[in-house]
Amino acid sequence: MDISQEEIRSNLNKDIFRLISQTADEMNLECYLIGGYVRDFFLYRRSNDIDVVTVGKGIELAEAVAKRLGRNTRINVFKTFGTAQIKYKNYDIEFVGARKESYRFDSRKPVVEDGTLEDDQKRRDFTINAMAFCLNKERYGELIDPFNGMQDLKDLIIRTPLDPDITFSDDPLRMMRAIRFASQLGFDLYPDTFDALARNKERIKIVSRERVADELNKIIMSPKPSIGFKLLEITGLLEIIFPELTALKGAETKDGVGHKDNFYHTLIVLDNISKETDNIWLRWSALLHDIAKPVTKRWDPKLGWTFYNHNYIGEKMIPKIFRRMKLPQNEKMKYVQKMVSLHMRPMQLVEEEVTDSAVRRLLFDAGDDIEDLMTLCEADITSKNPVKVRRFINNFAIVRRKLKEIEEKDRVRNFQPPIDGNEIMEIFDLPQGREVGILKAAIKEAILDGIIPNEHDAAYKFMLEKAKEMNLKTR
């Protein structure tokens, strides 16, 4: 991480930075690149979000830069916040005048005044986000690092520039951001910063659920999400924002029979699936796959601990969780429900004989999401017994082979029965109603059970036999 001044200047040798520099100099404005772009430069991470801070006239500088970039340049001005944003190529560039902030106890919206660069750096959340590069010609590429953010980058530490109790109490969302950065970057929280999280956890209640969910999503999408969720749990934040997840915590033993700690099991499953997919909703499915185990846990003297129907109960819990967290109430939620509902099915096929009928039904119910479901089920193998793990993996390979064979042979994924309700009503002169539903269901079940092939003639013949049993006659 020992980067020379030449490397910094080389990184800043982009047309957009040179144009901002020239414009700021002509307007006689101090101008700096600050925040995430600077941090990510030293971490060798690609960043398209650029924050530019000027000592005064941030909006005016943005407008002047946009004018030079040409009439097709999009600029959005937010006068209330004293900021402006330019979209340029792949970059989102935000301009703001340097400022200092003060907060009321009941709000995370600051009272803003004009300030110096030092004031602006003091208001930043973490030392690694307070570093700045000067963009003015005389000092082009000079690093301004008053809080030793570079050293914290080297030491892999998340630390606040000022008193962490004040930082987190002023804007409690910063607590979520601290944990998110620790999870994304694999950094440790500085001891004072960590302790302040626990002391200020109740302050998270004034943050909107949308903002909390946004940070949760970023933690879920980090390379090893368990880091973030463990920190949320240890600091007490998780119990406030996601009580259903903390309810999974704990292992209980009775008559010498215990069950695993489902909280830590869930985090292992989440980490496992994160190695395989960037699909955020599949990762959410991993996080929620056992969410109903606490409410379904029972002790049976003969069977030990049971969690009957936890997959179906979990499916029903998801809309309430998504609604409270302001997560999408659409197909994305339904996808998570489907994954949670079906996550036991491939495992049951592994534990029992893999029949064609069971595979057909799994294909029909999972549809195009069958591969995602199998990925979730394989991530759910967390046993520490290598023999057991090897057996499950081998059996899943058998299930995958059967899925492929039956899909090629019977075409049951997302299939529609070859005879629909309209045809049934026409053949038997029936109104829409119970009899039509019974015949449709019987044809579907016969195909899934392998009694008839997924073909019109076979389905028609089967339907006539079933209709005869129901005393129905054709026209």
- In degrees, to the nearest 5, what angle opens at C-alpha 174 toward C-alphas 173 and 176? 70
pLDDT at 105: 61
CB 136 within 8 A of CB 101: no
The C-alpha atoms of residue 418 and residue 440 are separated, in whole angstroms, by 10
Three-state SS at 18:
helix
Q: Residue 207: give its domain's CATH number.
A: 1.10.110.30
The C-alpha atoms of residue 30 and residue 444 are separated, in whole angstroms, by 72
pLDDT at 94: 94
pLDDT at 327: 97
54: left (phi over 0), alpha (psi -120 to 50) or beta: beta
User: Looking at 241, 258, 276, which one is the last position of a domain?
Assistant: 241
First to last CA, the chain: 83
84 with 127, same domain: the answer is yes
Residue type, 148: N
Range of the domain at 190: 156-241
CB 190 within 8 A of CB 153: no
64 with 85, same domain: the answer is yes
Beta bridge partner(s), residue 76: 85
> Is there a domain that residue 403 lies in?
no
> Is there a domain that residue 184 lies in?
yes
- Which residue is listed with tokens 């005393």? 471
194 with 85, same domain: the answer is no
Cα separations in angstroms, 155 against 92, 185, 195, 302, 380: 29, 12, 19, 54, 34
11 with 145, same domain: the answer is yes
pLDDT at 276: 96
109 with 28, same domain: the answer is yes
13 with 117, same domain: the answer is yes
pLDDT at 125: 92
- In degrees, to the nearest 5, what angle opens at C-alpha 262 toward C-alphas 257 and 265? 110
29 with 100, same domain: the answer is yes
> Is there a domain that residue 323 lies in?
no
- Which residue is listed with tokens 């801070």? 53
151 with 9, same domain: the answer is yes
pLDDT at 6: 75
Residue type, 204: I
Question: How far, in whole angstroms, is CA 4 from its chain's centroid?
Answer: 37
> Is there a domain that residue 474 lies in?
no
The C-alpha atoms of residue 390 and residue 253 are separated, in whole angstroms, by 27
The C-alpha atoms of residue 204 and residue 173 are separated, in whole angstroms, by 7
pLDDT at 352: 64
| Stretches in the chain below the pLDDT threshold 70 | 1-2, 100-113, 350-353, 410, 412, 414, 475
- Residue 352 φ then ψ, to 5°: -115, 180
- Tokens (6 digits) for 335: 């996808």
The C-alpha atoms of residue 6 and residue 284 are separated, in whole angstroms, by 44
Tens digit of pLDDT for each residue in 199-247? 999 999 999 999 999 999 999 999 999 999 999 999 999 999 999 999 9
- Tokens (6 digits) for 324: 């409270």
Task: Give the DSSP letter of residue 205.
Answer: G
User: Looking at 220, 241, 262, which one is the last position of a domain?
Assistant: 241
> Is there a domain that residue 207 lies in?
yes
Beta bridge partner(s), residue 92: 49, 87
Tell whether the torsion through CA atoms of 147, 150, 151 and 155 is positive or negative. positive
- Where does residue 363 rank: exposed (0-12), middle (13-18), buried (19+ CB within 10 A)? buried
Q: Which residues, 6 or more positions from 12, have their beta carbon under 8 angstroms from its beta carbon?
A: 33, 133, 135, 140, 141
CB 474 within 8 A of CB 427: yes
226 with 206, same domain: the answer is yes
Tens digit of pLDDT for each residue in 340-357? 999 998 887 766 667 888
356-366 and 434-448 helices, crossing angle to 10°: 120
How many Cβ atoms are within 10 Å of 46's Cβ, its own excluded?
8
> Is there a domain that residue 182 lies in?
yes
- Tokens (6 digits) for 322: 């998504």
The C-alpha atoms of residue 88 and residue 315 are separated, in whole angstroms, by 43
User: Looking at 155, 185, 210, which one is the last position of a domain?
Assistant: 155
DSSP letters of 324-382? HTT---SHHHHHHHHHHHHTTHHHHHHHS---HHHHHHHHHHHGGGHHHHHHHHHHT--
> Is there a domain that residue 395 lies in?
no
For the chain, helix (H) and strand (E) counts, in that order, are 25, 15
- Tokens (6 digits) for 266: 């869930």
- Where does residue 386 rank: exposed (0-12), middle (13-18), buried (19+ CB within 10 A)? exposed
Q: Please state the domain count of the chain.
A: 3
209 with 147, same domain: the answer is no
Which helix (H) or strand (E) segment holds residue 323: the answer is helix 310-324
- Residue 300 φ then ψ, to 5°: -120, 120
144 with 172, same domain: the answer is no
104 with 162, same domain: the answer is no
- Which residue is listed with tokens 């591969």? 371
Range 110-149 burial, b when 16+ CB lie within 10 A, else e: bebeebebeebbbbbbbbbbbbbbbbbeeebbebbbebbb
Tell whether the torsion through CA atoms of 225, 231, 234 and 237 is positive or negative. negative
> Is there a domain that residue 411 lies in?
no
Cα separations in angstroms, 175 against 207, 210, 218, 367: 11, 15, 14, 40
pLDDT at 287: 98
